[in-house]
Amino acid sequence: MDQARGTPPARRQEDRKKIPHMDVDSNQFIPKARIAIGDPQLQAALAVSTTNSISARAESLFAFGREHGEHMRQQAAEAKRRALRHLPDLLEQAEARMQANGMHVLWAEDASEANRLVLDLIDRHEARRIVKSKSTLTEEIGLNTALESHGLDVLETDLGAYIVQIAGEHPSHIVGPALHMSKDTIRDLFVRELAMPPTDDAEQMTQFVRERLRRAFLEADLGICGGNFIIAETGSLCLSTNEGNGRMVTTLPRVLVAIVGIEKVVETVEDFTTLAQMLSRSNNGQVMTVYTQMIHGPRRPNETDGPEEIYVILVDNGRSAIYATAYAEALACIRCGACLSACPVYRTAGGHAYGSIYSGPIGAVITPLLAGLENATPLPYASSLCGMCKDVCPVRIDLPRMLLDLRHDLVEQGHSPALWSMGLRSWAAASGASRLFTLARRGARWGLRLAPRRLPGPLDGWTRYRNLPPPASRSFYELWRDRQEGRDHE
Amino acid sequence: MSSRDRILGRLRAARQPFADTPPLAERRAMVPIEDTSPAGLQRRFTSEAEKLGCTVHSVESAAQGVRQILNLLGSDTAVLSWDLAHIPLPGLAAALDGAGIRRAVDDPSVRVGITGADAGLAGTGGLVLTTGEGKPRLVSLLPLVHIAVLQAGRIVPTFEAWVEGRRAAGLAFGAASTLMVVSGPSRTGDIANIPVRGVHGPGAVHVIIV
C-alpha cells in the first residue's frame, strides 16, 4: 500500500458526527487500477469470470423470454422498494417474529458496537473456536480484525474467503472473494501454507480443504454468518449459499451469531421467493443457490442438532443516514454482483483497485456513502456511465444517476480535481461571451493540428493509451450556421 | 435511549422513500410452468434436477426403491437417516436391518444420508426439506452422498406454488425449525471459476421418486 499518497486525513474531534462507517483505501483507485491493467494474470482471470457470469445471467434470466425476465426484475424491484418504504415497521415486525421464533435480536448503530456485541457474546458463551461463513457486512465492519485484536482466531470457511484469508489478502468480489487468483497461485499457496500434497486438480484441492475444514466445523463452538434476507412476516433468517459451509456454520456450533444489515428485511415469503431466485440467476445464472435456507430459531426440544442459541445483530452503520437521502435506492441492493461483472471499469480494474469490500458500480456508490466522500473521491468517476450496471441490476437500481449525483456532491464539497475545475470555469467564461468563444474555437482547431500526438503534463492521461483525434475541418457550429443560411456545402 | 430506538427513530424521521412506487399489477412465478399434470410435473422435475447434477431414480414400487437404496449403500455398514416415519418407503427399516446397516443421525464418518422431502420443485429441480423432530439437519449435510425419497404427488410446479400451497393449508412457515430448498450437489467455482462438486455438503444427490 502506498502510504505517501491518499492516506485518509487524521480524524479530528469535531468530525465525530462524520465518523466514517468503513475503513477504505479508495483514494488510490487510479494507481491501483494502473497496476491491475498491467497484470496479465489478473486480466485473464477477470475476463473469464466476468464473461462467464454475465452470459450465464442473461441466458438464465431470459430463459422464458425477455418480457418475462424484465417483468421479474420489475417484481423484484417493487418488493425491495416496498420493503424500504416500510422499513421501520418491518424491522419491528421482524424483531417480534424472530423473538417469537426463539432468536435473540440485538441492534448495532455502527461497526464498533456490532463488533463489541459479537465479542460480548463470545465471552458470555466462552467460545474459543469460531467458524464463519462469508459475509460482506462483516468485512465492512472489520469484524475479523476486531476479533483478532482480542486474541481470537476466526476461520473463514467459504472456499474463496478461506483462500483469501490464508493469503492474507482482502476479497476482490462480494460473491467470489478469490476471483482474482489463478489456479496455480492457489495451488502454490496451499502447498506453501498448508503443506498440501502438490496437485493441479481443482477438485483435489477442494477435497483437501473439505477435510481440513470438516474438523474445524465439528469442533467449533460459535458460528458467525450474514444474512441475505430477513422475512418480516415469519421472522425467517434467510441464507443463500452453494458450498454447504453456510449450513455447517448455522448447524454445528452451539451458538450462532448472524450479522445482518437493517436493509435486508423483506415483507413476505412471496417477496423472498422472487428475490432469492433473482439473486442466484443474476449472479451466475443458477436457478437457485444450492442451499436456500429459512431459519426459524434454535434447536427445539426433541431435535438432535442445530444451535442452542441464535443471535441476530441488526446493523445500521450508516444505512439510516443513506435512507434519508436521494441515495436510499442503494439500500435495495441484494449483493448479486451482476453490476460488477457487467461493468467495463470493474472488468479492467478488478475489485482491489476500489480499496473497499464494495467494488464495481454499486461499490462506487456505497463506498463514498459509508466511508465519506472525501475518502473515496475517485470512485464516482470510476464509470463511463455506459449504463450496463443499471440494465443488469435485478432490482433496477439507477446506478448511473447516483454516480452522477455523487460527482455533483464532490464538486459542491470542493473535491473536484483542480485542473478540471479550472477548465470548466474557462469554458463557462468563454461560452458566455460569443466573440471570445468563436476565437477560442478557431484557436483550438489550429492548436489541435499543431499539437503533439501526446499531450504534455497532467493532460498526458488522455493520450497515454490513445491518439488525440484530428479536429474536423469544419466545426458543428459552422456546419449548422451554413445550413441555416441555405449554403450547405455537403 | 437504546441503539434500537435511535436507529428506528432516524428511519422514522426520514422522508419515506419510494412512496410513489406503483404497486405491482401482476405477480408471476420465476419459472412459468404450462404442463401441470402429474406426469408433466414429474418429467419437468426430473429434467431440471438432472441439469443441477442430481441423479433421479423413478421407481414403480417401494420395494424397488428400497433395492435402489441398498445398491447405493454398497458395502457400507452405517447410514445417516431421518426417522423412517418421515421417509415414504415402507420396508426400508427391515431391509437396512436385514443388511446389517446401522442407522445414525450425526456420525461424520458415514458416507450416505437418507431423507424424505416435503416437496419437489418442477421448475427448478430443487427439493424442499424441513427440519424438526426426527428430521435432523445433518443427515442431508454431513455425508458425501444424499439420498432423498420424494413422493411423486409432492412435486409442485414452483417454489412460489409450494409457498402458496402451504399458506392455503394454513401451515405456519415457522412451524419448521429450518426450511430449505436444496438445488443439487454442493458446489463452488472459487478456484479459478472451475466448477467443483462436494465442497462441504454432499457431492452427489440422488432423488428417488416413489
Chain B nearest C-alpha distance from A183 (Å): 5
Q: Measured between alpha carbons, how far is A32 from A9 in angstroms, rounded to an integer? A: 19
At A365-408, the pLDDT tens digits run 999 999 999 999 999 999 999 999 999 999 999 999 999 999 99
**Average pLDDT of the residues in A195-199:** 95
At B56-104, the pLDDT tens digits run 999 999 999 999 999 999 999 999 999 999 999 999 999 999 999 999 9
Contact B159 A277 (CB under 8 A): yes
pLDDT at site A351: 96
Contact B125 A287 (CB under 8 A): yes
**Average pLDDT of the residues in A146-166:** 95
The minimal CB distance from A320 to the residues B11, B15, B28 is found for B11
pLDDT at site A453: 67
* Beta carbons within 10 angstroms of residue A7's beta carbon: 12
Q: Are strands A291-295 and B178-182 parallel, antiparallel or unpaired?
A: antiparallel
Enter the C-alpha cell of residue A351.
475489485
Is residue A16 scored above 50 in pLDDT? no
Contact A68 B32 (CB under 8 A): yes
Of the residues A89, A92, A181, A247, the best mutation for testing chain B's interface (the one with the most B CB atoms within 10 Å of its CB) is: A247
DSSP letter at B135 equals B
Q: Which of A385, A118, A64, A142 minimizes the C-alpha distance to A259? A: A118
The answer to whether the beta carbons of residues A272 and B179 sit under 8 Å apart is no
Q: Which of A326, A347, A263 minimizes the C-alpha distance to A275? A: A263
Q: Are strands B55-58 and B204-209 parallel, antiparallel or unpaired?
A: parallel
The minimal CB distance from A109 to the residues B7, B188, B193 is found for B7
Chain B nearest C-alpha distance from A287 (Å): 6
Identify the bridge partners of residue B206 per DSSP, sorted by sequence position. Answer: B55, B147
**Average pLDDT of the residues in A173-180:** 88
Is residue A429 scored above 80 in pLDDT? no
The complex's ipTM works out to 0.98
Q: Measured between alpha carbons, how far is B104 from B5 in angstroms, rounded to an integer? A: 47
pLDDT at site A19: 65
Contacts of A157 in chain B (CB under 8 A): 200
Is residue B187 scored above 80 in pLDDT? yes
Residues 6+ apart with CB under 8 A from B56: B45, B46, B49, B50, B206, B207, B209
C-alpha distances out from residue B96 to B36, B67, B76, B135, Å: 36, 10, 11, 18
Residues 6+ apart with CB under 8 A from B25: none
pLDDT at site A447: 72
Q: Measured between alpha carbons, how far is A174 from A340 in angstroms, rounded to an integer? A: 9
The answer to whether the beta carbons of residues B31 and B158 sit under 8 Å apart is yes
Q: Measured between alpha carbons, how far is A130 from A221 in angstroms, rounded to an integer? A: 6
- Helical spans, DSSP H, in A7-158: 29-37, 40-61, 66-85, 87-100, 111-124, 136-140, 143-148
pLDDT at site A472: 77
Among all residues of chain A, which has the CA nearest to that of B122?
A287
Identify the bridge partners of residue A249 per DSSP, sorted by sequence position. Answer: none
Single pTM value for the model: 0.90
The answer to whether the beta carbons of residues A239 and A246 sit under 8 Å apart is yes
Contacts of A231 in chain B (CB under 8 A): 173
The minimal CB distance from B190 to the residues A160, A289, A294 is found for A160
Is residue A3 scored above 60 in pLDDT? no
Is residue A68 scored above 80 in pLDDT? yes
- Helical spans, DSSP H, in B53-202: 62-73, 92-98, 159-168
Q: Measured between alpha carbons, how far is B122 from A428 in angstroms, rounded to an integer? A: 62
Task: Indicate the pLDDT class of residue B152, thresholds 50, 70 and 90.
Answer: very high
Contacts of A88 in chain B (CB under 8 A): 8, 11-12
Q: Measured between alpha carbons, how far is A201 from A184 in angstroms, rounded to an integer? A: 10
Average pLDDT, chain A: 91
Contacts of A207 in chain B (CB under 8 A): 198
Chain A nearest C-alpha distance from B71 (Å): 25
A156 close to B (CB below 8 A): no
Task: Indicate the pLDDT class of residue A8, thresholds 50, 70 and 90.
Answer: very low
Among all residues of chain A, which has the CA nearest to that of B180?
A293
The minimal CB distance from B160 to the residues A178, A214, A270 is found for A270
CA end-to-end span of chain B: 58
pLDDT at site A4: 39
Is residue A18 scored above 60 in pLDDT? no
Contact B199 A236 (CB under 8 A): no
pLDDT at site A487: 61
**Average pLDDT of the residues in A122-151:** 96
At A280-311, the pLDDT tens digits run 999 999 999 999 999 999 999 999 999 999 99
Is residue A132 scored above 70 in pLDDT? yes
**Average pLDDT of the residues in B97-117:** 96
Task: Indicate the pLDDT class of residue A452, thresholds 50, 70 and 90.
Answer: low
